[in-house]
Every structure is written in C-alpha cells, then in structure tokens.
Amino acid sequence: MLRDLKHVQQTHRRTRAPSKWRLYETQTGNVPKDLVTMFAGIPTPQIPSPPAPVLTAGERGELAATLGFIDRHGVRKLLSVAAVDGEATPRTEKVKSAKGPLIELKIKSAEHNPRFLLVNCSDVAVFLTAFMKKTQKLRRADVERADERYRTMKDECQ
C-alpha cells in the first residue's frame, strides 16, 4: 500500500499538472514589460528569454513559493486561508478602490517591496500588473492599469 502511494506521488511529480497561474497577455500575445521584469528569474513558458532578475533572491523565492501555493491550492484559497500547516501563506487582500475583482499580492521586503495585482479567471490566477511599492497606499495609476487590462480580457474569464 505504501509503495503504491509513493508510486502515485512520483507519477504526479513527473506529469506536472497545468499551472493555475499565468501572466496577462495583450491582444497581440505579448506580455507587458512590467510583468516581464518582475517575473524574471521565475520559470514561465510565457517569457522564453527573460532579462536579468530585478528582484532579490529572497523576493523571487517568496514569489515562487506563492506561485506553488496557487498551483497546489488554487486561487480561491488565497483570500480565505489563514494558515496552512508547514507552508508559508501568501499575504493578499482585495483591492477596494478597483472596479474589477482585483487581488493584491504583497511580498514584504526591505529592498523592493514588490506588489502584484491579479484576478481570478476561471480558477486561474492571471497576473495583470506588477510594481515596486514605495508608499503605504496603492497608486491610482497602478490600479487603473490593472482595471484596464482586466476589462480587455473580461470576456474570456466568464
């Protein structure tokens, strides 16, 4: 029985399930530059040749852990989770000033303080914009950029 369970786990690891997150793409199929620079160093098929990483190794590690959390538990669990045994839980909250159902993902760090605005699109996290935050409050321009991108892809999310 234990051998069968181990075999199932190994098979699951080898045949990776489709990812439950992706980056926003324009109608021409390009990923915006702000997302490319912030996701540099994170393996993603949407960015074939990423530039040099902007985020520190710790920030990239926390982002990769959050993406792994999304792959394992799904997007819906992001806002409802308080703690998962043995895992670092992502820090997220709904963006109240947005017109769409935006979620802000926070990565606390001393150097860059990266923030990501994403949306739940058919149980897939779509990252709309990414930026480095310098103040406590979200800038209106960042929220409007994410709202505009969400409006362009709104039809495929329903």
Are 47 and 39 within 8 A, CB to CB? yes
Q: Residue 14: inside a domain, yes or no?
A: no
Instruction: Please check whether residue 4 lies inside any domain of the structure.
Output: no
**pLDDT digit string, tens, across residues 28-50:** 888 899 899 888 888 888 888 87
> Could you report the per-residue pLDDT of 119-131, keeping only the tens digit for each?
988 888 899 999 9
- Confidence grade of residue 6 (pLDDT, cut at 50, 70, 90): low
Domain that holds residue 43: 19-157
- CA distance linking residue 85 with residue 48, whole number of Å: 34
The residue with greater pLDDT, 113 or 100, is: 113
Whether 8 is covered by a domain: the verdict is: no
The answer as to whether 12 is a domain residue is: no
pLDDT of residue 61: 86
DSSP one-letter string for 97-128: T-SS--EEEE---SS--EEEEEEEETTEEEEE
Which one-letter DSSP state was computed for residue 64? H
Strand partners, 129: 117
Number of domains in the chain: 1
* pTM higher than 0.85: no
Please report the pLDDT score of residue 7 as a whole number: 59
